[in-house]
Amino acid sequence: MSAESKLQMCTRCIMDAGVPDIRFDAHGVCNFCHMQDKLEALFPLGDAGRREMERLADQMRRAGKGRDFDCVCGVSGGRDSSYCLYVVKELGLRPLAVHFDNGWDSDIAKENIRKICQRLNVELHSVIADWEESRDLTNATIKACVPYIDLTDDVGIASALWRTAAKENIKHIVLAHSFREEGVTPLKWNYFDGRYVRALINQHSTMKYKKFKNVDLHHVFWWAVVRGIRVVNLTNYYDDTGTKVERILNEELGLADTGQHHYDNEIFALVYYYARHKFGFDWRVVELSARVRTGVLTREEALDIMQEKPFFENKDVVGYCLKKQGWTWEEFEAILAAPNKYYTDYPNWHSLLKLFKQPIKVLSRMHAFPAHAYEKYFEA
Ligand SMILES: [Zn+2]
């Protein structure tokens, strides 16, 4: 870690020169800070945010007229998606909650999902992955030696949301990604497209998948362009920073705190441990940097948190994950020692997507895809 501490660090957030594709301006401020400023300008809070949110709610209501639901809302049992569902109900919308269960939900997350849907009177649709497949998919990603090993669960979530919306004829999907609280991950740490996912599976899976469905360009084209399904990242329009969200979730709705961001899903202990020990980066830097930029934390407080022993540096917790995935420590350590790879080492659609950057930008402004995803893939 001593070599890392000598790397240039952004003068505003806590990202340093070890982050792939980071650039610093003349004042030493990084491009990820500029990206967040751009998103803040695109999605102002206060009255402007409220008005835009009401406008989108009207749009969803009109599209939902004569149907059972106005929108699909992804729920994980964690903070961001639970609060988003609360906001959706406050707006008077009729959501269908969709949960993708990859076999790693914590008991707290399961109970939170049940509670919030019951208290808010929302119908819940669970898409349950086949455990053998889910495990093999994650293991394929681990064997691929890429930075983010929960990729196929993100595919499962995207697939569950889009396919449910298409099947139920619901025109809007509401997402709860918070650029203010979670930040936007560097592309090389977390990349996703259908061709890349297929390549990892073809090279490293050990079984034929019957239930898993990939999400490729032609699917997205069909859902977004032909079926006109819109993806509204509602969290952009309200202030979800700080502890007021927890207060509403805990006191008004009786939800329990899942602890760390993403810890509604227990595999994240392994995801974080693997990245730190194989790639030498700590995922927390993304969310802490975002919170420094929004002013919820000072830079010094974030740096202090980075010095503390993280929740995933626990051999029992990681050992439990490895056992469930079917790895011995010895086998896992061989993976940690193997050469690191990135999406650029596998077949992917990124060059092709770059050719369609402008239409994709237009579609992102029309809420076919979230704006932060466009920024991450094309502007970072
Ligand atoms: Zn920065």
- pLDDT reading at 2 higher than 60: no
Output the CA–CA distances (angstroms, integers) from residue 7 to 17, 189, 233, 290, in the order listed: 6, 18, 34, 20
Instruction: pLDDT band for 35, please (50, 70, 90 cuts).
Output: very high
In angstroms, what is the span from residue 265 Cα to ligand 1's centroid? 28
Provide the pLDDT for residue 311.
87
The lowest-confidence range among 23-27, 125-129, 240-244, 288-292 is 240-244
Q: How far apart are CA 289 and CA 273, in angstroms?
A: 19
pLDDT, greater one: 112 or 259: 112
In angstroms, what is the span from residue 38 Cα to ligand 1's centroid? 13
HSE-up of residue 114 (Cα within 13 Å, Cβ side): 7
Torsion of CA 75, 80, 86, 88, to 10 degrees: -80
Answer yes or no: are the C-beta atoms of 98 and 75 closer than 8 Å: yes
In angstroms, what is the span from residue 46 Cα to ligand 1's centroid? 24
Domains of the chain listed by start with CATH number: 47-379 (3.40.50.620)
Q: How far apart are CA 327 and CA 341, in angstroms?
A: 20
pTM: 0.94
In angstroms, what is the span from residue 282 Cα to ligand 1's centroid? 15
Tokens of 182: 């979670």
Using one digit for the tens of pLDDT, what is the confidence trace for 142-170? 999 999 999 999 999 999 999 999 999 99
Tokens of 63: 């599209």
Rounded percentage of the chain residues whose pLDDT exceeds 90: 87
At residue 179, the 3 state secondary structure works out as coil
Using one digit for the tens of pLDDT, what is the confidence trace for 265-284? 889 999 999 999 999 999 99
Q: How far apart are CA 346 and CA 201, in angstroms?
A: 11
In angstroms, what is the span from residue 13 Cα to ligand 1's centroid? 4
